[in-house]
Structures are given as structure tokens and as C-alpha cells.
A and B are shown apart, each in its own frame.
Chain A
Amino acid sequence: MSIDSYRFLDFASRQVMKAWAGRQQPGVIPFTPLGKPLADCTVALVTTAGVARNDDRPFDQAGERRNPWWGDPSFREIPLGTTERDVRLYHLHIDPRFGEADLDVVLPMRRLADLADQRVVGKAARRHYSLMGFILDPDVLVGQTAPAIAARLHADGVDAAALVPA
């Protein structure tokens, strides 16, 4: 594997993530083929940067500070057209200043609109989604949050989702 973003991390975090990688069981991997050419697809974005609009409920940083084993497993809708002026980043494990200076660094809605203009994709969805990163216990995330996002994606006629880490 030539990809090595671990070099951007301190030694201890590197070791922890490598230990996690060795303990996962992929099982059967679900797969939905793309149903039409990308140029006809409505595409939605999902970020784990903990982006919330200033007129929406913030992600729960205080809860994670009280219990560092816990991460807020809820999600926020980010309507197309939202910019860095309208949001804050609540993820406590990254430097939020880059995404707050330019939201496309973590949630590239304007870049997706560019690609729609260039006919690479059909169009950008009207709603995109944000999660917190670093959630050690994935039960609520997998059992409730992701299914709720899937339902909204279907409701908006989304053909594919691009997931961006933070």
C-alpha cells in the first residue's frame, strides 16, 4: 500500500489506527451497481467533518469532552448553497480552520456543481449530509443515522453518494 497519510499523524495515533485495521472483519461487502451513466446521476455528498449550520443544532462536543469514548452519532442536513459563512466544524480530532476557511475542503458542494456544469455528473443533490468523525461505538450510526440518511437520499432521487472523511 503506497497511500500513507499516517505520516501526517503523531506516532501514538498511528499505532492505534493500525491496530484497529488489523482487527476488522469485512464479511460480505454490499454493493449496488451504478444504475445509469455518471453524467446522468444526481450525486449527494456526506462528510464526517462535523459540519453544522449556524441555524441548526451544534454537534455535541461537550458530551465527547465528558466521555471521550463517546462521539455524537447524529447527522445534520446541509442544503446545497451552504457556504463556510453559514457553518461551523465540530469534529474534535481535526483542525476545523481549513474547512471553516473554505467548506469545499471537507464538503465539496461547489466543486460538485462545477462537475455538473462540465457534464461529468448530472447534478448536485439539493441536500447533503454531515456526521461527526471518531465514533468508537458505531451502533447508533449504523443502526439509525445511516438508514435515516439513506431514506432522505431516496426521497431526493439521489443516484449515488460520495463520502468524504475528515
Chain B
Amino acid sequence: MGLVARVLESRGIPTITLSLIPDLTRAVGTPRLAGLSYPFGRPLGRPHDSDGQRAVLRAMLDVLAQASGPGTYVELPFEWPESPARARNESKDLPPPPIVELMTKKPWLLPSLYTGRIPESAPAA
């Protein structure tokens, strides 16, 4: 997402990027970044929690308005109301993503995933 923000900024659109993994998003050189400790799939908060969602969006936009230069990073103070184990458990019945299935079947490909170097043997999509 940080890479997309960079393209928009270089074409004259100011951006604010929210991230649940700000160490990675920051490392790609994201123009304005707000970090948040919420579970994946629920970046604004719980379904139907309008007040909580609005507060997160408002906090993002405050970073947009107040950032003074490139590389601004602010950690948002919101805390997820459930334990990480409980949040993970809610999605336990889902099948793993295709890349995780592949790594389970062919663990010798893990170094490629770690380095982000896509193997030349990868099939056409």
C-alpha cells in the first residue's frame, strides 16, 4: 500500500496510509503513515461499530492534515478490545491463503518467500 501512496504523491495527490504492519510499510518509504494494532481484515474496527470506525478514520485524517513532510509516522492509540488469540480464533475455519498452502506442501520454497524473489518455476497465473 505504501508503494501505491508513493505513486499518488508523485502525481500530486496527498495521501495518508493506514498500516497494521507499519515497520514494513514505513520501510518502503511511505509519505504519511499511521500505524494501528488492529487485526487483519478489520482495519477500521469491528462491524457496526460506527463510532470506533469514525474515530480511526478521523485520526488518520488528522495525520494527513498535520504532517509536515515526507516520512511522517504516527502511532494511533486505539486498542483492539479482544485478545489476539480470540481475534485469530474467529477466522480459524477459513482455508489458508494459497501461498501458505504452497509453503506447507513445498517448504523448500520458503527462502524465496522470505527474500521476496519469485521463483522462475512459478506457473503462469
A106 touching B44, Cβ below 8 Å:
yes
Say whether B118 contacts A8, CB under 8 Å: no
Known: A68-B98, A98-B41. A32 touches B13 (CB 8 A): yes
B49 → chain A closest CB, angstroms? 8
Q: How far is the CA of A7 from the CA of B84 in the complex (A)?
A: 6
Specify which of A5, A16, A29, A149 is in contact with B71 (CB 8 Å cutoff).
Answer: A29
B54: which of A38, A115, A138, A149 is its contact (CB, 8 Å)?
A115
Q: Are B97 and A105 in contact (CB under 8 A)?
A: no
* Separation of A23 and B24 alpha carbons in the complex (Å): 9
Contact status B53-A95, CB under 8 Å: no
> Which residue of chain B lies nearest to A27 when distances are taken between CB atoms in the complex?
B29
CB neighbours of A18 from chain B (8 A): 23-24
Give bound CA distance, A63 to B64, whole Å.
Answer: 36
- Shortest CB-to-CB span from B46 to chain A, Å, is 7
Whether A141 lies near B27 (C-beta < 8 A) is: no
Q: Which of chain A's residues has its CB closest to B45's CB?
A: A105
Alpha-carbon distance between A18 and B96 when the two chains are bound, in angstroms: 20
A97-112 interface code vs B (CB 8 A; 1 in, 0 out): 1110110111010111
Please count how many residues in chain B sit with their CB below 8 Å of the partner chain's CB atoms: 82
Contact B24 A20 (CB under 8 A): yes
In the complex, are the beta carbons of A142 and B29 less than 8 A apart? no
B18 to chain A, nearest CB (A): 5
Chain B nearest CB from A14 CB (Å) reads: 9
Complex Cα distance, B47 from A96, in Å, reads 12
How far is B63's CA from A163's CA once the two chains are assembled, in angstroms? 12
**Contact B39–A67 (Cβ < 8 Å):** no
Instruction: Say yes or no: B20 contacts A69, CB within 8 Å.
Output: no
Which single member of B16, B46, B88, B114 contacts A8 (CB below 8 Å)? B88
Q: Are B21's CB and A17's CB within 8 A?
A: yes
Q: Which of B68-84 contact A (CB under 8 A)?
A: 69-71, 75, 80, 84
Q: How far is the CB of A125 from chain B (nearest CB, A)?
A: 11
Do residues A163 and B1 form an inter-chain contact, with CB atoms below 8 A? yes
Q: Chain A residues near B58 (CB, 8 Å)?
A: 115, 120
10 shortest interchain CB distances as A-B pairs: A26-B29, A94-B41, A146-B7, A102-B47, A24-B27, A68-B98, A31-B70, A63-B125, A29-B70, A95-B91
